[in-house]
Amino acid sequence: MKKVLTIAGSDSCGGAGIQADIKTMDALGVYGMSVICAVTAQNTMGVEDVQDMTPDIVRAQIDAIFTDIEVDAVKIGMVSSPEIIRVIKERLIFYKAKKIVVDPVMVSKSGYHLLKKKAIDELKGLISIADIVTPNIPEAEVLTGLNIITEEDMKNAAKNIIKMGVKSVLIKGGHRCNDATDILLYKENFLVIPGKKIDTENTHGTGCTLSSSIASQLAKGFSIKESVILSKKYITKAIENSFALGKGVGPVGHLIDLYKRGGTDYGEN
């Protein structure tokens, strides 16, 4: 079985973060492992509190895994602080980690800052060693300083981000009003991945699910382009099967959730 590591934050309500990553990995048939960078006290209505792990315990978790287990792909999500990001980058280079996906998580859907503002430069450094980075539109705006409205703007932002040294860039369109088309810049070519906006409030964890699906498919040996296309299908299906939970924004539905609710039709993933 392929082994995939998520380096991210814990979401107590189970919709995003480490919990979404492990559910996605399970659903896609890879073995999921985790390095926890922060614990959030969070529910469907928002983030109440955050406790960052120390850089030492982040380093110790990474060392524990890489000194024992061969890791086929790594997904990085919420990384909190400049010190934690520096440790992650240094350790991943040290262990010659393969197939690195960076989801540059900055602000939760409810508006809580999950990344300290002073950590943006370190985050760019981490992006430089990745195979793919998956910013949503507001994140791409922070990384580039550009204003992104149209598909052409998304392409320009991708060209700008690729200069950071990353091999490919997926700009996610989920934050646009009427469309969920994503744009991949890969080997100097653009791939427009069309998506229709699904009318649901329950989109907690969409970005985490997409990036851990990409890491899982890369681990299985698919190319970046194939992994992104398969993952767009997975996230679309997961949003179609999202459900109400608690009083706020409910989570996307993974294969496992569907089984529990008696469903069987989950496409080819």
Ligand X SMILES: Nc1ncnc2c1ncn2[C@@H]1O[C@H](COP(=O)(O)OP(=O)(O)OP(=O)(O)O)[C@@H](O)[C@H]1O
Ligand Y SMILES: Cc1ncc(CO)c(N)n1
In this structure, the dihedral spanned by the alpha carbons of residues 150, 151, 155 and 156, taken in order and rounded to 10 degrees, is -20
Closest-by-Cβ residue to ligand X is 207
Q: Is 53 in the site for ligand Y (CB under 6 A)?
A: no
In degrees, rounded to 5, the angle at the alpha carbon of residue 184 between the alpha carbons of residues 181 and 188 is 145
Choose from ligand Y, ligand X, none: what does 78 bind? Cβ within 5-8 Å by kind.
Answer: ligand Y
Distance (Å, whole) CA 242 – CA 249: 10
Please check whether residue 252 is in contact with residue 242, taking contact to mean a CB–CB distance below 8 angstroms. Answer: yes
The nearer residue to ligand X, 19 or 91, going by C-beta atoms, is 19
The nearer residue to ligand Y, 209 or 220, going by C-beta atoms, is 209
Site residues for ligand X, 159-178, by CB under 6 A, read: 172-175
**In the numeric block, which tokens belong to residue 177?**
């009003």
Is there a catalytic annotation at residue 207?
Answer: yes
Q: Is 136 in the site for ligand Y (CB under 6 A)?
A: no
Cβ-based burial of 155 (10 A; exposed 0-12, middle 13-18, buried ≥19): middle
Distance (Å, whole) CA 227 – CA 145: 28
Q: Is 213 in the site for ligand Y (CB under 6 A)?
A: no
Give the interface segment with ligand X, choosing from 36-44, 149-157, 201-209, 243-251 (CB under 6 A).
201-209
Distance (Å, whole) CA 106 – CA 88: 17
Is there a catalytic annotation at residue 206?
Answer: yes
Q: Is 239 in the site for ligand X (CB under 6 A)?
A: yes
* CA contacts within 13 A on the Cβ side of 123: 27
Site residues for ligand X, 31-50, by CB under 6 A, read: none
Give residue 9's identity as a one-letter amino acid code: G
DSSP 153: H
User: Of 40, 181, 203, 209, which is the active-site residue?
Assistant: 203
Point out which residues bind ligand Y (CB under 6 A).
8-9, 11, 16-17, 40, 42, 77-78, 105, 108-109, 114, 207-208
Point out which residues bind ligand X (CB under 6 A).
16, 105, 109, 136, 172-175, 180, 182, 195, 197-198, 203, 205-208, 210, 232, 235-236, 239
Catalytic residues: 172, 203, 205-208
